[in-house]
Amino acid sequence: MTDTTRFMDSALEEARKAAARGEVPIGAVVVLDGRIVAAAGNRTRELNDITAHAEIEAIRHAAASVGTERLTGADLYVTLEPCTMCAAAISFARIRRLYYGAEDPKGGAVDSGVRFYASPTCHHVPDVYSGLAEREAADILRDFFAGKR
């Protein structure tokens, strides 16, 4: 198993844990120097906080763990294409590489919607790798919403 696969597997695990908590199942991990420094899932319901997306939670935990405001040189893995808020936070955090699973044509902001990283007001653009374990990431979401009906 490659490191990339292993890190995305950890993000998928966080997504499954989020589903078990009744949260929309999206998971993220932040990797620095080849190791996971933060792993998180969506906690918007638990925290009554619409900013508690998996990516934001992972960035907050990673920054606290490393003790720096910015995460220069860190990579972020997330199961779904980030939304506008998270795409911006990833840029502000100076994340080096963004790896995401499924595309999100309805809410994504990287390759969908506003395409934040192509905007002239975006001052740090991570390298973006999409489509990692996208079937699995999409299945977790689909199963969650199917169960809700």
The pair of structure tokens assigned to 99 is 């790896």
> 86 a known binding residue?
yes
In degrees and rounded to multiples of 5, residue 27 shows phi and psi of: -130, 155
Q: Do residues 80 and 112 lie in contact, with contact meaning Cβ atoms separated by under 8 Å?
A: no
- 18 sits near Zn ion (criterion: CB under 5 A): no
Contact positions with Zn ion (CB under 5 A) in 66-125: 83, 86
Contact positions with Zn ion (CB under 5 A) in 45-74: 53
- The residues, ordered by sequence, that sit 6+ positions from 74 with a Cβ below 8 Å of its Cβ are 30, 31, 32, 37, 62, 66, 93, 94, 95, 96
Q: Is 22 helix (H, G, I), strand (E, B) or coil?
A: coil
Residue 136 among the catalytic residues: no
Please identify which of the residues 55, 81, 134, 136 carries the catalytic annotation.
Answer: 55
Supply the minimum distance, in Å, between the C-beta of residue 85 and Zn ion. 5
> 53 a known binding residue?
yes
Count residues binding Zn ion (CB under 5 A): 3
| Binding-site residues from annotation for Zn(2+) | 53, 83, 86
Q: Give me the active site residues, please.
A: 55
By the criterion CB under 5 A, which residues form the site for Zn ion? 53, 83, 86
